[in-house]
Amino acid sequence: MRAWTLGSGSRGNAVLLESNGTRVLIDAGFPPRVLARRLAGLRVAPESIAAVIVTHEHGDHSCGVAAARRKWRWSVYGSAGTLRGITRLEAPGATVIEPGAPFVIGDLEFELVPVPHDAAAPTAVLATSARTGFRAGCAHDLGTVPDALRRAFTRLDLLLLESNHDSGMLRSGPYPVFLQDRIASRTGHLSNRQSSAFARELAGKSLRQLVLLHLSEVNNTPRAASGSALAALAGARARCAVTAAPQDHAAGPFGDARGGGLQLALGL
């Protein structure tokens, strides 16, 4: 399995997974013209993507879903609350997934895991390749790490995890206090420290790559987020590359040589 981020942050999110000919997006938080441009940069035709799994209905994760589905016939998967919250999504072809119930798209087996965030029924995504057993976990927006996610994300090879803000920058930054409180709350977004602590917990023999998602452009920097993660992983003696995903262009591939064409991410 290989993965790319097409862009990550409050102005849009999408992750492309590819395994043995199956292509699936996790979130489509860009308009179709942006998705098409970034996919073209990876030489991926939008029509070759089978489905999009939507983690929650916030626009930075779902704004392209309905139009891309009409344009490119993508199947759409998500929790009932997420699918209800996506505007202009026509019900036929959208599949409601019960969190915890595995489902298969081509070579990939998926499971949705509920996470705390201020959306209707937000989830993280676990993806396993049927052919290789490669395991990738993607957690986009969450305020805290629930035990169910700890259990689901064991033995990962690739972790894509929110590292939204540096707590000091958030508290000394320009956002009004109510917004600072919302971001830092249990249903907000993970700080660098929270994200690093979870990555450290998960860092075992198999975890080789950590991709930091959804960095705030106001309350974080790639250097602060990567530095926090690298320090935590070094403390756990983990051999794991760390990459901060950019907002405005694609990054990758991250993943498995058996998926073809491994490029190790450079540790920052």
Residues that bind Zn ion (CB under 5 A): 58, 60, 141
Q: State in angstroms the smallest separation of the CB of 130 from Zn ion.
A: 29
Closer of 187 and 221 to Zn ion (Cβ): 187
Cα→Cα distances 29→125, 165, 175, 179, 250, Å? 16, 20, 23, 22, 13
Q: State in angstroms the smallest separation of the CB of 21 from Zn ion.
A: 29
Q: State in angstroms the smallest separation of the CB of 97 from Zn ion.
A: 18
Closer of 18 and 57 to Zn ion (Cβ): 57
Closer of 23 and 58 to Zn ion (Cβ): 58
Closer of 58 and 165 to Zn ion (Cβ): 58
Closer of 60 and 107 to Zn ion (Cβ): 60
Residue 212, CB half-sphere, CA atoms under 13 Å: how many? 37
Question: E strands within 93-224?
Answer: 94-96, 103-105, 108-114, 123-129, 135-139, 158-162, 209-213
Place of tokens 């250097």: 223
Residue 194, CB half-sphere, CA atoms under 13 Å: how many? 22
Distance between CA atoms of 223 and 244, rounded to whole angstroms? Answer: 8
Distance between CA atoms of 31 and 26, rounded to whole angstroms? Answer: 15
DSSP characters over 169-180: HHHHSSS-HHHH
Distance between CA atoms of 14 and 138, rounded to whole angstroms? Answer: 11
Closer of 57 and 107 to Zn ion (Cβ): 57
Q: State in angstroms the smallest separation of the CB of 7 from Zn ion.
A: 12
Q: State in angstroms the smallest separation of the CB of 204 from Zn ion.
A: 28
Q: State in angstroms the smallest separation of the CB of 140 from Zn ion.
A: 6
| Geometric angle at alpha carbon 38, from 114 and 242, rounded to 5° | 55
